[in-house]
């Protein structure tokens, strides 16, 4: 698969996924954005200021791999972040960025490992996310984050933005959405278990389940 080759079907998939994430409380208000890579190399993204609960197929934006706006409404102000992930990961065909509550809460903690913000508490987290670097704070839409995001995405398909939320790439939109949901659930577990002695997977157990390139 070189990208989604049916733009009409890709638009419907983005809206269907956006509705699912929103109605299940994984994003709120006008936060969060989704994108897919089309077969011609352009990117289809949710537009700036839109809610994932109400965005329509005709309202989606299209950019190139540099984030340059090609057509449709103005894209999300974080289009550069999506483009950086696609440039870094040629096999990725979807990117999901959310402000989900528990992952955002973890991104605000002062005592987390910046090289790996969440421990591998479950096998499914180890399989779908692996390691999760925390990128330093940048204001939303600050393109100064772009080069760091691109460098980090070459070796990690998921990152956590400090005081912000997670970004996850996948070979498909379903894969990226599944991974970011697993990340959110693990963040919830991590916060529920703070103050308790935990037994994460060992380094060897986690390595055996680490996700392949996406």
β-partners of residue 4 are 38
Q: How far apart are CA 59 and CA 81, in angstroms?
A: 20
Compute the distance between CA of residue 175 and CA of residue 211 in angstroms, rounded to an integer: 11
The residue written with tokens 């529920």 in the block is 192
Q: 73 near 79, Cβ under 8 Å? A: no
What b-and-e string marks burial along 122-145, b requiring 16 or more CB atoms within 10 Å of the CB? Answer: bebbbbbbbbbbbbeebeeeeeeb
* Active-site residue list: 78, 124
Q: Which residue matches tokens 């996850």?
A: 168
């Amino acid at each position: 698969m070189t990208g989604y080759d049916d733009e009409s079907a890709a638009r419907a998939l983005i809206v269907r996924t956006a509705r699912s994430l929103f109605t299940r409380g994984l994003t709120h208000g006008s936060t969060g954005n989704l994108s897919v890579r089309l077969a011609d190399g352009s990117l289809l993204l949710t537009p700036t200021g839109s809610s994932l609960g109400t965005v329509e197929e005709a309202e989606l934006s299209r950019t190139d791999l540099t984030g340059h706006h090609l057509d449709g409404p103005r894209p999300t102000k974080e289009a550069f972040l999506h483009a950086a992930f696609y440039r870094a990961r040629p096999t990725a065909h979807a990117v999901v960025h959310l402000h989900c509550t528990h992952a955002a809460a973890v991104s605000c903690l002062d005592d987390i490992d910046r090289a790996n913000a969440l421990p591998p508490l479950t096998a499914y987290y180890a399989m779908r996310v692996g390691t999760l670097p925390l990128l330093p704070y940048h204001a939303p839409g600050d393109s100064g984050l772009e080069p760091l995001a691109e460098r980090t995405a070459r070796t990690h398909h998921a990152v956590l933005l400090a005081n912000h939320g997670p970004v996850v790439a996948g070979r498909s939109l379903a894969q990226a959405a599944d991974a970011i949901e697993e990340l959110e659930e693990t963040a919830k577990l991590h916060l529920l278990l703070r103050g308790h002695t935990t037994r994460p997977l060992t380094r060897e157990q986690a390595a055996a389940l680490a996700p392949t390139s996406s």
